[in-house]
Amino acid sequence: MNVILSDRLGASSFLGNLWTAYRFPIAGITGFRIGGGVNCQDKSYSDLTNANSIPSSVVWNGLLGYQASVWGVDVNLRNLTNRRYFVAAHGAGALVGETRSAFVGVHADL
């Protein structure tokens, strides 16, 4: 778990994330895992006048994977609820966060 508290311009006063994962066997084969997490961000402003801001957000993510002895594969799922959120405010508006997406990763543990 990561939690950051800040009073800097352009930074949220609260930013945090929490992840967990559970490993389990299927039909006697070990190495499968499922996980989930949440990213939280408080409201933030783009300048000293507080004219432009982005609202607070909560984004849920997930993971499905398999880990063998020297390799593994994961499917990472981001923004499970497909909620529209913003990651940064600036003078012209804000940057929109990622929509629901999935990524597959394969890795070798050499």
Q: Over the stretch 16-67, which tens digit does the pLDDT of each residue have?
A: 999 999 999 999 999 999 999 999 998 887 777 777 788 999 999 999 999 9
DSSP reduced 3-state for 49: coil
pTM: 0.81
Q: Residue 13: what pLDDT?
A: 77
**Identity (one letter) of the amino acid at 16?**
G
Q: What mean pLDDT is reported for the chain?
A: 87
Using the structure block, give the residue that is written with the tokens 């939690």: 3
32 close to 25: Cβ distance less than 8 angstroms: yes
- The 10 Å Cβ neighbour count of residue 83 is 13
Q: Residue 84: pLDDT above 90?
A: yes
Percent of the chain residues topping a pLDDT of 70: 90
Q: Residue 45: what pLDDT?
A: 79
Q: Over the stretch 8-25, which tens digit does the pLDDT of each residue have?
A: 556 677 889 999 999 999
Query: Would you place residue 109 in the very low, low, confident or very high pLDDT band (cuts 50, 70, 90)?
Result: confident
**DSSP structure class, residue 80:** T
Q: Residue 105: pLDDT above 80?
A: yes
Give the ranges where 2-86 is alpha helix by DSSP (H): none
